[in-house]
A = this chain, B = another copy of it.
Amino acid sequence: MTFNKLDFFFMAQAIRLAKKGLGRCNPNPIVGAVIVAEDKIIATGFHQQFGGPHAEVIAINNCKDKSLLKKSTLYVTLEPCAHEGKTPPCLDLILEHNIKRVVIASQDPNPKVNGVSIRTLIEKGVEVDVGLMEDQAINLNKGFFKRILNNIPRVTSKIAVSSDGKTALNNFQSKWISNEFSRSNVQRLRRFSDGILTSYKTINSDNPRLTVRDVDSSKQPYRFIIDASFQSNSDAYIFKQERVVIFYSKEVANKPNLKAICIPVSCADGVLNFTEIMKHIASMEVNNLLVEAGPGLNGLLLQHRMIDELIIYQSQSILGGNAREMFNHPVITAMESRNQLKLVDYRFFGDDIRFIYEVDYVD
Contact = CB atoms under 8 A, between A and B. Distances in A.
Interface of A: 161-166, 169-171, 173-177, 295, 299, 302, 310, 312, 316-323, 325-335, 338-343, 351, 355, 357, 359
Contacts of A299: 320-321
A169 B317 contact: no
A163 B341 contact: yes
Contact of A326 (B165, B312, B341): B165
A231 to B, nearest CB: 21
Contacts of A316: 340-343, 357
A334 B165 contact: no
B335 A175 contact: yes
B331 A322 contact: yes
Nearest to A328: B321
A163 B312 contact: yes
Contacts of A295: 321
Contacts of A317: 338-341
Contacts of A319: 332, 338
Given A340-B316, A357-B316, A335 B173 contact: yes
Closest 10 CB pairs between A and B? A165-B165, A316-B341, A321-B328, A164-B326, A322-B331, A321-B329, A321-B331, A318-B339, A320-B330, A317-B338
